[in-house]
């Protein structure tokens, strides 16, 4: 009986992993490139549990049932019961099925803020041709943040930049546009924030917005004093949250 329970737990866990990985829900946990691995892992767990259940399920006639139960009783005494910790496998399954946690956001940024490394001279963005100066240049939060802190931000000072992220309060001194970066999964999440020089009226903490603006000199962090990248906002437009909330 205990072996059948173990197999059923594997089926439940594998089915849940497979379900999450075949929808966009997996993007709240890992990079897009990890989807094939999640699918394989979920399928392997599901197949393992299913095969084990089929092989171990009772196949005896009513006449031989008592003899089979006696053998199972002896088998259980020899090999022991399933450890209670095995039931902990049900916890992540229950969380994913009933209360799927949202992607990391304001809470993470407010508690894990840290200095952003400035770009080195060889990382400074290429000059923008004169005929393209009026165009809006889309950049990632990390790209803009590193180049904005460089000793010579170069052509960034003459470009109009588009950034997308969510709103995070900056004490009494304004607000941040933030994005979470991950290398592998949400466990190694690192927030990247840019100070927005402009009014936050009409947008709430956690709301996703698009900021179009220009470079502005770095500002000191309100409490720790390290330099933070700044963008002078020309427009702030609410946008839907992206399917993939993280930068990588």
* Domain endpoint, select from 98, 118, 143: 98
If one counts every other C-beta atom within 10 angstroms of the C-beta of residue 95, the result is 12
Question: What is the per-residue pLDDT for 129?
Answer: 62
Tell me the residue range of the domain where 189 lies. 106-247
If one counts every other C-beta atom within 10 angstroms of the C-beta of residue 44, the result is 14
131 and 151 both lie in a single domain: yes
CATH of the domain at 144: 2.40.50.140
Q: pTM (2 decimals)?
A: 0.72
If one counts every other C-beta atom within 10 angstroms of the C-beta of residue 91, the result is 9
Question: What is the per-residue pLDDT for 175?
Answer: 93
Q: What are phi and psi of 240, to 5 degrees?
A: -65, 150
* Domain endpoint, select from 43, 74, 98: 98
Helix (H, G, I), strand (E, B), or coil: what is residue 25? Answer: helix
With cut-offs at 50, 70 and 90, classify the pLDDT of residue 87: low
86 and 118 both lie in a single domain: no
124 and 180 both lie in a single domain: yes
80 and 133 both lie in a single domain: no
117 and 222 both lie in a single domain: yes
For the segment 139-163, the average pLDDT, to the nearest whole number, is 88
138 and 85 both lie in a single domain: no
Question: What is the per-residue pLDDT for 130?
Answer: 56
147 and 205 both lie in a single domain: yes
Which uninterrupted H or E stretch holds 68? helix 65-79
Residue 21, pLDDT above cutoff 60:
yes
Residue 209, pLDDT above cutoff 90:
yes
Q: Which residues contact 103 (CB under 8 A, 6 or more apart)?
A: 27, 28, 180, 186, 245, 246
DSSP conformation class of 126: P
Report how many domains make up the chain. 2
94 and 116 both lie in a single domain: no
Residue 109, pLDDT above cutoff 60:
yes
**pLDDT digits 0-9 by tens, 112-149:** 878 888 877 666 666 666 555 567 888 999 999 998 99
With cut-offs at 50, 70 and 90, classify the pLDDT of residue 164: very high
**pLDDT digits 0-9 by tens, 167-201:** 999 877 689 999 999 888 877 889 999 999 977 77
* Domain endpoint, select from 98, 125, 146: 98
């Amino acid at each position: 009986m205990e072996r059948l329970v173990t197999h059923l737990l594997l089926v439940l866990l594998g089915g849940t992993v497979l379900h999450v990985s075949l929808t966009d829900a997996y993007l709240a946990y890992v990079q897009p490139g990890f989807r094939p691995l999640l699918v394989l892992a979920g399928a392997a767990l599901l197949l393992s549990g299913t095969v084990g259940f089929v092989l171990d399920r009772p196949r005896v006639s009513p006449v031989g049932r008592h003899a089979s139960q006696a053998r199972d009783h002896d088998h259980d005494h020899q090999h022991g019961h399933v450890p209670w910790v095995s039931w902990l496998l049900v916890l992540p399954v229950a969380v994913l099925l009933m209360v799927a946690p949202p992607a990391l956001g304001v809470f993470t940024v407010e508690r894990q803020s840290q200095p952003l490394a400035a770009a080195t001279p060889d990382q400074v963005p290429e000059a923008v041709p004169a005929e393209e100066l009026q165009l809006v240049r889309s950049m990632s939060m990390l790209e803009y943040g590193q180049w904005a802190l460089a000793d010579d931000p170069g052509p960034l000072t003459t470009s109009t930049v588009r950034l997308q992220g969510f709103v995070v309060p900056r004490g009494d001194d304004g607000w941040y546009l933030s994005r979470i970066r991950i290398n592998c999964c949400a466990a190694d999440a690192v927030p990247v924030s840019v100070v927005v020089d402009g009014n936050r009226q009409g947008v709430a903490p956690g709301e996703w917005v698009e900021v179009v603006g220009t470079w502005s000199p770095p500002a000191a962090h309100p409490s720790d004093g390290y330099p933070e990248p700044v963008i002078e906002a020309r427009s702030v437009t609410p946008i839907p949250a992206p399917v993939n909330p993280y930068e990588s």
